[in-house]
């Protein structure tokens, strides 16, 4: 009986160590994004004729790109008054989208026209055009070495400045599932922040993994805008700008009457 006993014991132990053990370790559940609160520090006027598609601060100056076709512009603004200091109109065939500035060159996407433009920072002189990998152009930002763009899906695209050669793409995920409607972008202290189109959320994205590690709900600010909108003209939140020198963050939306300086919680 001893050989049979040893064989039975071996089979029992082996069965307890195979992948079918119901009491074994459960799969690790992806973490939900950290809830990030914010406070409004200052409020500035914003031109309600601006259908905001791109917003950034570069060397202390505020820049904005707007749509739609027939009304698309690239603008340098006085932050305090909201008045344009310099602007150019895009040809009526183009719908202006996100912008980024690298080495004093402004890059501007267009929506469905499959072309982007490069301008001199000093005088907005057109320097050239570029094509991009995605079917549509939405948001854009830079980490200083690469240009990062969105196309309204869950994807981010990393391009080489100058050539606009695609270096890599990155899917954005939230709680283990693909995110969606990733729109206007800003790079802040090592993370990509993104408006989620038609939603009151700003996503904080890890640029290596694509995981949404934090989420800001700006419903209170959006509701403030809606309360002012007696004619139902104002549109969705869109526009995040970061002044790396002053550490100030600004947000606005399409046709919004105000631009907000905000501060995220730690």
- How many CB atoms lie under 10 A from the CB of residue 189? 9
In this structure, is residue 205 part of a structural domain?
yes
% residues pLDDT > 90 (the chain): 86
| pLDDT confidence of residue 228 | 87
The CATH number that applies at residue 153 is 2.120.10.30
Contact indicator for 153, 197 with CB cutoff of 8 Å: no
In this structure, is residue 192 part of a structural domain?
yes
**172-182 pLDDT tens trace:** 999 999 999 99
In this structure, is residue 1 part of a structural domain?
no
In this structure, is residue 182 part of a structural domain?
yes
In this structure, is residue 92 part of a structural domain?
yes
Range of the domain at 76: 28-264
Residue 94 to residues 43, 52, 175, 224, Cα–Cα distance (Å):
31, 15, 36, 32
Q: Does residue 21 register a pLDDT over 80?
A: no
In this structure, is residue 4 part of a structural domain?
no
Q: Does residue 235 register a pLDDT over 70?
A: yes
Is pTM beyond 0.85? Reply is yes
Partners of 194 in the β-ladder: 185, 203
Q: Residue written as tokens 């590690």?
A: 213
In this structure, is residue 9 part of a structural domain?
no
| pLDDT confidence of residue 134 | 95
| pLDDT confidence of residue 22 | 58
| pLDDT confidence of residue 2 | 39
| pLDDT confidence of residue 26 | 62
**How would residue 227 be classed by pLDDT, with cut points 50, 70 and 90?**
very high
| pLDDT confidence of residue 232 | 77
In this structure, is residue 8 part of a structural domain?
no
**40-77 pLDDT tens trace:** 999 999 999 999 999 999 999 999 999 999 999 999 99
Residue 67 to residues 90, 96, 157, 181, 261, Cα–Cα distance (Å):
9, 5, 21, 18, 23
Query: In the predicted model, what is the mean pLDDT of residues 1-10?
Result: 40
Residues 6+ apart with CB under 8 A from 13: none
Q: Does residue 100 register a pLDDT over 70?
A: yes
Number of domains in the chain: 1
């Amino acid at each position: 009986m001893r050989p049979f006993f040893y064989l039975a014991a071996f089979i029992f132990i082996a069965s307890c160590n195979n992948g079918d053990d119901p009491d074994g370790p459960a799969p690790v559940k992806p973490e939900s994004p950290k809830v990030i609160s914010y406070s409004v520090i200052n409020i500035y006027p914003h031109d309600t004729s601006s259908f905001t598609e791109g917003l950034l601060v570069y060397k202390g100056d505020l820049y904005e790109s707007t749509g739609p076709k027939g009304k698309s512009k690239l603008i340098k603004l006085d932050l305090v008054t909201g008045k344009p200091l310099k602007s150019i109109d895009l040809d009526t065939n183009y719908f202006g989208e996100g912008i980024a500035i690298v080495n004093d060159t402004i890059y501007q996407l267009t929506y469905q026209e499959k072309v982007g433009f490069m301008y001199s920072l000093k005088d907005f002189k057109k320097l050239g055009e570029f094509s991009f990998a995605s079917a549509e152009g939405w948001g854009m930002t830079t980490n200083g070495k690469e240009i990062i763009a969105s196309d309204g899906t869950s994807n981010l695209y990393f391009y080489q400045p100058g050539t606009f050669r695609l270096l890599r793409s990155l899917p954005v995920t939230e709680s283990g599932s693909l995110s969606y409607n990733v729109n206007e972008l800003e790079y802040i202290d090592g993370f990509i922040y993104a408006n989620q189109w038609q939603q009151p959320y700003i996503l904080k994205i890890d640029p290596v993994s694509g995981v949404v590690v934090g989420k800001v709900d700006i419903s209170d600010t959006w509701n403030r805008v809606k309360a002012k909108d007696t004619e139902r003209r104002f549109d969705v939140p869109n526009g995040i700008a970061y002044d790396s020198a002053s550490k100030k963050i600004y947000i606005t939306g399409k046709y919004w009457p105000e631009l907000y300086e905000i501060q995220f919680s730690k």
